[in-house]
Amino acid sequence: MNSLYLNKVFKSFGKTKVLNNINLELNENELLVILGPSGCGKSTLLRLVAGLEDLTSGEIYLHDKRIDKLEPKDRNVAMVFQNYSLYPHMTVEKNLGFPLKIAKVKKEVIKEKVEAIAEMLGLTDRLLFKPSALSGGQRQRVALGRAIIRKPDIFLLDEPLSNLDADLRLKMRAEIVRIQQELEITTIHVTHDQAEALSMADRILLLNDGEIEQLGTPEELYKNPNSLFVAKFIGFPKMNIIEATIKNNQLMPFGIPFESKQIDGVDELLVGIRPEDISMISNGQYRAKVVSSEYYGEQYIITIVYNNIVLQVSGCQHSKNIGDTVMFSISESTLHFFNKQTGSRIG
């Protein structure tokens, strides 16, 4: 059984088309990450599922029940926003228990559930504190706890980590995955951060200007981006994209043998090379000049120029001096090809 199902969902605000034919099926207990640049429609998609916006057309089903005409409170959906708004005058205990109190759950049961969720989120010793006495991460956990305490059918998280500092953001990524697995709740997590998406998702849905650009596992999007947009959006440093031509069955400017029938009908070709797929080795095939060397602790990222083409190389263990000559190799099997006109993947 699928858990959430979106069928031909369109959304416009006045004349502005924001979501264009979104079709999506979530598996039971899946963690789907919706990824995309600012303004591409991520929040709107979540708000449609939560019932905070009306569809322009299409259907939304949750566990085979049509929900798109239901009031938000009748959908059994929980949503956490970026600026998680806790009740400042209530203790953590009261904040966590609030949704149950509203639902007129018995006091003893509320107490039990609050204690269980506090335990799970590491908030037990904070139950009697007000939000102002908590760290950013603790507040975020209270907001998560408050959202899941009623065991929703689906958990919607709209950039919940973007207000946290870098350290905490990394910790909370793992924390959300852990909570989601422990509670077995189908979850949609929204972010514009590709690293966050790669590290958390069962599957990633990459949105581009209101349309699904690609839907797949993190590995699929990373290894087989089906368009130039996906290739450029996923991965750090970004994939090197180079204009290429085929001359005498060779891929230029690298001189790699290439069957031109692979690209029949494509006039202009772009080649993508991941920065980690370039090896700087002394017996490399190609000669380049170093233009910069950046230190990242575990690696250097070195920028080189070959034939007027700028390439970034990652995973380097040693620094290079600007102006140094280096040799490098690329392996044909790691190259990605795109149609320059349409941006779609070739092969």
- The binder of ligand ADP chosen from 1, 15, 38, 297 (CB under 6 A): 38
For 181-229, the three-class secondary structure string (H helix, E strand, C coil) is HHHCCEEEEEECCHHHHHHHCCEEEEEECCEEEEEECHHHHHHCCCEHH
- Let me know how long the chain is: 347
Pick 59 or 193: Cβ nearer Mg ion: 193
Only one of the segments 36-44, 119-127, 246-254, 296-304 lies at the binding site for ligand ADP (rule: CB under 6 A); that segment is 36-44
Q: Measured between alpha carbons, how far is 18 from 16 in angstroms, rounded to an integer?
A: 6
For residues 43 and 293, which CB has a smaller minimum distance to Mg ion in the complex? 43
Contact 235, 222 (CB under 8 A): yes
Nearer to Mg ion, 34 or 326 (CB): 34
| Angstrom distances, CA of residue 61 to CA of 5, 75, 87, 215 | 5, 10, 32, 19
Is 204 an interacting residue with respect to ligand ADP (CB under 6 A)?
no
| Residue with Cβ nearer Mg ion (36 or 145) | 36
With CA atoms as reference, report the closest residue to 191 among 28, 23, 46, 27: 46
Using the contact rule CB under 6 A, the part of the chain among 35-43, 134-142, 232-240, 306-314 near ligand ADP is 35-43
* Angle at 74 (CA atoms; ends 71, 76), nearest 5 degrees: 125
Of 62, 288, 91, 266, whose CA–CA distance to 156 is shortest? 62
For the segment 20-59, give every residue that binds Mg ion (CB under 5 A): 43
- What stretches of the chain show up as alpha helix (H) in DSSP? 42-50, 92-102, 107-120, 136-148, 166-183, 194-200, 218-223, 228-233
Which residue, 40 or 143, has its beta carbon nearer to ligand ADP? 40
Q: Which stretch binds ligand ADP (CB under 6 A): 31-39, 139-147, 284-292, 300-308?
A: 31-39
Give 168: exposed, middle or buried? Use CB within 10 Å, 0-12, 13-18, 19+: middle
Q: Which does 36 bind (CB under 5 to 8 A by kind): Mg ion, ligand ADP, none?
A: ligand ADP
Question: Cβ neighbours of residue 125 under 8 Å, at least 6 residues apart?
Answer: none
Query: Does the footprint of Mg ion cover residue 303 (CB under 5 A)?
Result: no
Phi-psi region of 151 (alpha: psi -120 to 50; beta: other; left: phi over 0): left
Identify what 206 binds: ligand ADP, Mg ion, none; CB under 5 to 8 Å per kind.
none
Q: How far is the CB of 153 from ligand ADP (least distance, A)?
A: 22
Under the criterion CB under 6 A, does residue 13 sit at the interface with ligand ADP? yes
What minimum distance in Å lies between the beta carbon of 190 and Mg ion? 6
Binding segment toward ligand ADP, per CB under 6 A, in 40-48, 104-112, 148-156, 269-277: 40-48
Answer for which of 4, 18, 154, 269 binds ligand ADP (CB under 6 A) is: 18
User: Does the footprint of ligand ADP cover residue 41 (CB under 6 A)?
Assistant: yes
Q: Cβ contacts of residue 56 below 8 Å, gap of 6+?
A: 10, 11, 12
Residue nearest to Mg ion (CB): 43
Between 42 and 61, how does the x/- string for binding to ligand ADP read (CB under 6 A)?
xxx-----------------
Give the footprint of ligand ADP on this chain (CB under 6 A). Answer: 13, 16, 18, 36, 38-44
